[in-house]
Amino acid sequence: KAGVTQTPRYLIKTRGQQVTLSCSPISGHRSVSWYQQTPGQGLQFLFEYFSETQRNKGNFPGRFSGRQFSNSRSEMNVSTLELGDSALYLCASSLAGTAYGYTFGSGTRLTVV
């Protein structure tokens, strides 16, 4: 059974650019959440999608957005990149939501220069 797949694994972008990250959840999983992980702040919740609808959103600026498609695949977009956006971005999927625990993907390491 395939796990959670995130692409790309590594990304280098310039300040001011925008970036799109992709996540394919485990087959049958309808809930997809995104997290930002940095050494100082740890894992911080960005948003959760379930059946193409955003159910929850963390405390991140509007530059961070996401969406989910009918096949449960999800994308997140960061516009007008800042140096502080450099982080590991993790996608996680669950059968139906946070009560059931998450399976994480390998992450996308974003470096903003």
Partner 1 sequence: QKEVEQNSGPLSVPEGAIASLNCTYSDRGSQSFFWYRQYSGKSPELIMSIYSNGDKEDGRFTAQLNKASQYVSLLIRDSQPSDSATYLCAVNMSGGSQGNLIFGKGTKLSVKP
Which residues of the shown chain bind partner 1 in the complex (CB under 8 A)? 33, 35, 41-45, 48, 50, 55-56, 58, 90, 96-107
- Residue 20 or 44 with smaller CB distance to partner 1: 44
Question: How near is the Cβ of 106 to partner 1 at its closest, in Å?
Answer: 5
Please report how close the Cβ of residue 36 comes to partner 1 at its closest, in angstroms.
11
Strands 108-112 and 10-13: parallel
- Both structure tokens of 34: 């995104």
Provide the minimum distance between the beta carbon of 7 and partner 1 in the complex, in angstroms, as a whole number. 14
**What b/e readout covers 20-53, taking b as 16+ CB neighbours within 10 angstroms?**
ebebbbbeebbbbbbbbeeeeeeeeebbbbbeee
Closer CB to partner 1, 44 or 65, in the complex: 44
* Nearer Cβ to partner 1 (15/57): 57
What would the two tokens of residue 37 be? 């992980």
How near is the Cβ of 83 to partner 1 at its closest, in Å?
22
DSSP three-state, residue 25: coil
